[in-house]
Amino acid sequence: MPRFMGNRMGNSPGTPTANQDANPAVYSISDQYAMKTDDGWAVPPNPYISASGGTTGTYSVGPISYKYHVITSDGNFVITQLAGGSGSLPNEVDVLLVAGGGGSEPGSSVSGGGGGGGLLEGTLTFTSSGTYAATIGAGGPNSNTGTGSPSTFCGCTADGGGGGQNNATGLPGGSAGGGSPGDGGGSTTQGDQTASVSGVSGTLTGYGSNGMGTTPGNVGGGGGGAGGIGGPTAGPYPWGPGPDGTTGGPGRENSYLDGTPYYWAGGGGGGVSNGRDGAGGRGGGGGGGNCNPGEGAKAAPNPMQSYNAGGDKSSSSGGSGGANTGGGGGGTGNVPASQGGQGGSGILVLRYKTGS
């Protein structure tokens, strides 16, 4: 059995620290014997990761307890001490990384909804304490270059959502934007990502979908979401019970943040001339302009809840994607000076076990 050393001449014994040399001193014969035969210094275990960064909280799922970190703007995840010692938990961190959603182009004719931000999900293993930087992507603007900004962590990149387009095919992105009538949606660019910084290993799975394909006249295609393509197969949602070509693609469900099953990175609804649904995709998608009802994705306590709600249409202008959801912005209706919705910003959620 290991034991603490106190029978020595010289400096005060102090407190033994894992993986560090003992204080200089002249050790007695009995101490030297124990060092060789009795496992040396007894090191108090650190049962789980000690870390800071972002907004933190805890929750439990059955017998397993977790600590989580939510980072909503550029910042750091700082590990001050890894888990170590007898009975300690693994140095594994669950990661949800979402990029900024795509915005939708303004104009006097119908435009498609912006695509949800690319989403990465999985577990990374940390072998070194230290500071690990995170970049959180901004939502895309309501312009003809409306692609959202990427989010990055430990060398892994979630691609920004593609912009919805007016008189053109939707732009490619993590999830792609919807296009104008007859032009079709863009293609997803999101793939799996492997950590590439020192002290971290593992691969995160990428999620993203295409924008809605070719739509009939005066119908803008719904933007793709992390959980599926925009369009008629995307719903129904409680805020848009009649899915059609304008419906934003669904986001992906994940419960790392406080144990609640939120949806992330939904596509924006496409705009229309009249008479279409235009629902924002679950996961923060904005509603499509001139649609009926043209509502954005809802937040809690809706059963398909987003972390934050997507914006509803405002007459012929599209609603914006929900903040820190990676939701795509809604497209425009065919009314002069209509504005597309801006994309929602991204987020990083980290969690690790603190008990089992």
Q: Is 86 exposed, middle or buried (0-12, 13-18, 19+ CB in 10 A)?
A: exposed
- Residues 266-289 have pLDDT tens digits of 999 999 988 788 999 999 999 999
Give the model's confidence band at 301: pLDDT under 50 very low, under 70 low, under 90 confident, else very high. confident
Higher pLDDT, residue 169 or 13: 169
Q: Which residues touch 26 (CB under 8 Å, ≥6 apart)?
A: 8, 9, 10
Q: Which has more confidence, 32 or 157? A: 157
For residues 169 and 174, give the distance between their C-alpha atoms in angstroms, rounded to a whole number.
Answer: 16
Kindly calculate the radius of gyration of the chain based on its CA atoms and give it in whole angstroms.
25
Say which DSSP state 11 is in.
Answer: S
Mean pLDDT of 10-26: 51
pLDDT single digits (tens) 65-103 = 999 999 999 999 999 999 998 788 999 999 999 999 999
